[in-house]
Amino acid sequence: MRSEGLLVLADGTSFTGELCGAEPPGGVAIGELVFNTAMSGYQEIVTDPSYAGQMIAFTYTHIGNYGVTPDDDESRGLFCRGVVVRDLARRPSSWRSAESLESYLARQGVPVLSGVDTRMLTRRLRQSGSLPAAFGALSYSELVESALAEPGTDGRDLASTVTTGAPYERSGGRLTVVAYDFGIKTSILRQLASIASVAVVPASTPAAEVLEARPDGVFLSNGPGDPAALGWAADNVRALLGRVPVFGICLGHQVLASALGAKTYKLRFGHHGANHPVRNLASRAVEITSQNHNYAVDGDLPAGVEVTHLNLNDGVVEGISCTEVPAFGVQYHPEAGPGPHDARYLFEEFRALMEGERR
């Protein structure tokens, strides 16, 4: 049974809707609110650990129409704080569907507010930037107070809250890769396993321990939070550079950049969607990419680091490469599924880099 609820942003703006999904702790769902423009792939989105500490507002009006299936989960659990939609489908229609999105979110402990004017909400977030927010059945004043008390993601190490507690392995090819789990997605592991055997390790694993395994390459995964709070991770990566090929995606790309001496900063409302055009500066080709990040690498790069990809919407750095050691990273998600596959070649480039260093 759905009941009336209210969403309030930290700037005081409010939106009405219907509460569904899980009962929020203390009657209120709180987190940094961001919007995602993808029209499909909602299960990949809500199960992406990169949304830890955040609530997701979907700009597409009809969410949940094809249900959910365990095959599309991107992590062992859900880390987002809540979901906001215009229309949450009550009856899914797909031969793959195991249950409705509403029942799935309720079972996973994620609160939902449906019936929200997400067009107006998105316009507000584009104007003000991502904001802390709260929704529930409480009064307006209580929700404003809750939203103002939410710290957001600035300066926070959220990767440590989503990383694996113990190492595990995925079998694959004759090459070996150690993957740092800052919030790694299942589809990334699937792509890595197509080129190598993968040992996934906790985010805090020392570089010396990684080198003892004598891997052919090291992968730095996606994940949530502020890369500037992960100085310890950058230190580990710095100790690996020049010793083994390194490839980073999303947060891993930002950690790699930090290890190389670059700076990161927070975007106004982030990049969250499945249709961002990115220019490959070497080939001049335009790739349509899936993205999910609130932080980016500053374009003023140190010597020995060059930009390889740029976002054509706003000029944000989308890829870097080191000219002195075998290391590169991209801000977007070449593994995304569902999503564009234009950038899947990057995994093959990682394989070629490892093969070249192995000779």
Pair 163, 145 in one domain: no
Q: What is the pLDDT of residue 289?
A: 95
Distance CA 235, CA 178 (A): 17
- Whose tokens are 């190598």? That residue is 196
Pair 131, 205 in one domain: no
* Beta strand spans in the chain (E): 3-9, 14-21, 28-36, 54-58, 62-63, 82-84, 87-88, 111-114, 131-136, 168-170, 175-181, 196-202, 217-220, 246-249, 264-280, 286-297, 305-311, 317-322, 327-330
Pair 8, 112 in one domain: yes
Residue 154 lies in a domain: no
Residue 113 lies in a domain: yes
pLDDT value at 358 more than 90: no
The answer to whether 238 and 324 have CB atoms below 8 angstroms apart is no
pLDDT value at 194 more than 90: yes
Pair 181, 104 in one domain: no
pLDDT digits (tens, 9 = 90+) for 339-353: 789 999 999 999 999
Residue 220 lies in a domain: yes
Domain with residue 220: its CATH number is 3.40.50.880
pLDDT digits (tens, 9 = 90+) for 309-333: 999 999 999 999 999 999 999 999 9
Q: What is the pLDDT of residue 121?
A: 98
pLDDT digits (tens, 9 = 90+) for 260-283: 999 999 999 999 999 999 999 999
More confident residue, 220 or 171: 220
> What three-state secondary structure class fits 288?
strand
pLDDT value at 218 more than 80: yes
Domain ends where: 118, 149, 180? 149
pLDDT value at 94 more than 80: yes
Q: What is the pLDDT of residue 340?
A: 81
Residue 56 lies in a domain: yes
Q: What is the pLDDT of residue 27?
A: 93
Pair 297, 343 in one domain: yes
Pair 296, 320 in one domain: yes
Q: What is the pLDDT of residue 61?
A: 94
Pair 211, 340 in one domain: yes
pLDDT digits (tens, 9 = 90+) for 105-129: 999 999 999 999 999 999 999 999 9
The answer to whether 185 and 48 have CB atoms below 8 angstroms apart is yes
Q: What is the pLDDT of residue 288?
A: 95
Task: Give every strand in the sheet of 305-311, ordered side by side.
Answer: 168-170, 196-202, 175-181, 217-220, 246-249, 327-330, 317-322, 305-311, 264-280, 286-297
The candidate with the shortest Cα–Cα distance to 61, out of 136, 5, 114, 126, is 114
Q: How many CB atoms lie within 10 A of CB 119?
A: 11
Residue 191 lies in a domain: yes
Distance CA 46, CA 147 (A): 21
Pair 145, 165 in one domain: no
Residue 36 lies in a domain: yes
Pair 261, 172 in one domain: yes
Confidence of residue 9 (pLDDT cuts 50, 70, 90): very high
Largest CA distance in the chain: 66
Q: Which amino acid is at 262?
A: A
Domain with 128 in it: 3-149
DSSP string, 53-104: TEEEEE-SSEE-TT-B-GGG--SSS---SEEE-SEE-SS---TT-SB-HHHH
Residue 44 lies in a domain: yes
Domain with residue 71: its CATH number is 3.50.30.20
Question: What is the average pLDDT across 15-36?
Answer: 96
Pair 193, 306 in one domain: yes
pLDDT value at 1 more than 80: no
Pair 255, 276 in one domain: yes
Residues annotated catalytic, as ranges: 250, 333, 335
Q: What is the pLDDT of residue 256?
A: 98
Question: What is the average pLDDT across 17-38?
Answer: 95
Q: What is the pLDDT of residue 357?
A: 84
Structural tokens at position 108: 């996973």
- Which residues have CB under 8 Å from 316's CB, separation 6+? 267, 271, 296, 310, 331
Distance CA 320, CA 306 (A): 6
Domain ends where: 96, 119, 149? 149
Distance CA 307, CA 328 (A): 10
Mean pLDDT across the chain? 96
pLDDT value at 338 more than 80: no
Among residues of the chain, what percentage have pLDDT more than 90?
Answer: 94
Structural tokens at position 106: 């309720």
Confidence of residue 359 (pLDDT cuts 50, 70, 90): low
Distance CA 131, CA 49 (A): 19
Query: What are the counts of helices (DSSP H) followed by strands (DSSP E) for the chain?
Result: 10, 19
Pair 332, 201 in one domain: yes
Total domains in the fold of the chain? 2
